[in-house]
Chain A
């Protein structure tokens, strides 16, 4: 069964500094990896995904994520954080085996960007 770990409950960063939100995963087949963002009392917004190809994936709002197969990681990054990036971030994984495979979410990491 697939699983996702987000080891940090909260990440604090100053505006203008680079940010990283960590995610590690476990699947039996090929991993399909996703990042979503959630603002208070709102649904999840899709940021980016890795299916295959380049290990560096670019997504919405200047975010990118680096897939590392040997470390089974898919960390979310942004070169320069904005106060408006403050939100709850979820990593998710789907097993690439054939047939329906559910999407499994991590417990979320709260990002707080200070002015």
Chain B
């Protein structure tokens, strides 16, 4: 987990509310990613960013939004449009370059909708 922090560790949301999950890295990585983990489904890519001020949708972007204003930060907002937001959210980063590019993960945020 070293070098990538996520906050908060646990987050509770009422239906209809937007919430923002924080992800910060001090690894000087260009690329950052957001994944959603549900039991028995592995990890699914929500959004990714290869460079500051640029990001792309992943496989399950509906109901989520991101920004990448700083190299070290990639916050994820879970909007009220996300129909089933209860899940474990993982942020990752990598250099984004070369064949040996490897993603490293933060400790995760568990979001529960009440």
CB within 8 Å of B: which residues of A?
Answer: 9, 32, 34, 36, 41-46, 49, 51-52, 90, 94, 96, 100, 102-103, 105-108
Contact = CB atoms under 8 A, between A and B. Distances in A.
A106 B44 CA distance: 10
A32 B99 contact: yes
Scoring A32, A44, A49, A105 by chain B CB atoms within 10 A of each residue's CB, the highest score goes to A44
A96 B101 CA distance: 11
Contacts of A107: 40-42
Contacts, number: 52
B102 A102 contact: no
Given A46-B103, A52-B99, A96-B99, 11 more contacts: A34-B102, A41-B88, A43-B1, A43-B4, A43-B107, A44-B92, A44-B105, A46-B104, A51-B99, A90-B43, A107-B41
Contact of A42 (B4, B101, B103, B108): B108
B52 interface: no
Interface in B75-114: 88, 90, 92, 96, 99-108, 110
- Determine the interface band of chain B, counting residues with CB < 8 A from chain A: 20 to 34
B4 to A, nearest CB: 8
Nearest to A44: B105
- Tell me the interface secondary structure of chain A in the complex: loop
9 contacts: A43-B4, A43-B106, A44-B90, A44-B105, A45-B1, A102-B48, A103-B103, A107-B41, A108-B40
A102 B90 CA distance: 15
A112 B50 CA distance: 37
Contacts of A100: 50, 96
B58 interface: yes
A69 B17 CA distance: 48
6 pairs of A and B residues whose beta carbons are closest in the complex: A43-B105, A44-B105, A105-B42, A107-B42, A105-B43, A43-B107
A18 to B, nearest CB: 25
A105 B42 CA distance: 6
Contacts of B40: 9, 107-108
B108 A90 contact: no
